[in-house]
């Protein structure tokens, strides 16, 4: 089995577990995406305690719901926010 196959199996296992344990949050189903999860806001607040966060002037984030609080906190702290736009063609 190659690394891509192993990653696919692991992702599917995690998506299934998140839904079975009712940890996954909107948007559902979480398969095929970076899943939103209960505790994402708390995780975002913990990120702001890291030395790397404190030093950073620029934050790069994806547009997924799980990182919404990360984006909010970066702007509140006056950091430059760069957000990926993977589905935009132009």
Task: Write out pLDDT tens, residues 64-83.
Answer: 999 999 999 999 999 999 99
Averaged pLDDT for residues 9-28: 94
Q: Domains in the chain: how many in total?
A: 2
Q: Are residues 8 and 51 in the same domain?
A: no
Residue 88 in this model has a pLDDT that exceeds 80:
no
Shared domain check, 51 and 19: no
Q: What is the pLDDT of residues 23-58, one digit of tens each?
A: 999 989 999 888 999 999 999 999 999 999 999 999
Residue pair 47/77 in contact by the 8 Å Cβ criterion: no
Same domain (yes/no): 34, 75 = no
* pLDDT value of residue 90: 64
Which tokens go with 33? 């995406």
Instruction: Please tell me whether residue 37 adopts helix, strand or coil conformation.
Output: strand
pTM of the model: 0.80
Together in a domain, 4 and 14: yes
């Amino acid at each position: 089995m190659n690394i891509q196959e192993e990653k696919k199996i692991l992702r599917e296992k995690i998506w299934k577990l998140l839904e079975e344990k009712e940890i996954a949050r909107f948007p559902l189903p979480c398969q095929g995406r970076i899943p939103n999860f209960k505790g994402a806001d708390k995780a975002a607040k913990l990120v702001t305690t890291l030395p790397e966060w404190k030093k950073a002037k620029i934050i790069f984030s994806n547009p997924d719901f799980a990182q919404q609080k990360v984006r909010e906190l970066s702007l509140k702290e006056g950091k430059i926010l760069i957000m990926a736009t993977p589905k935009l063609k132009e």
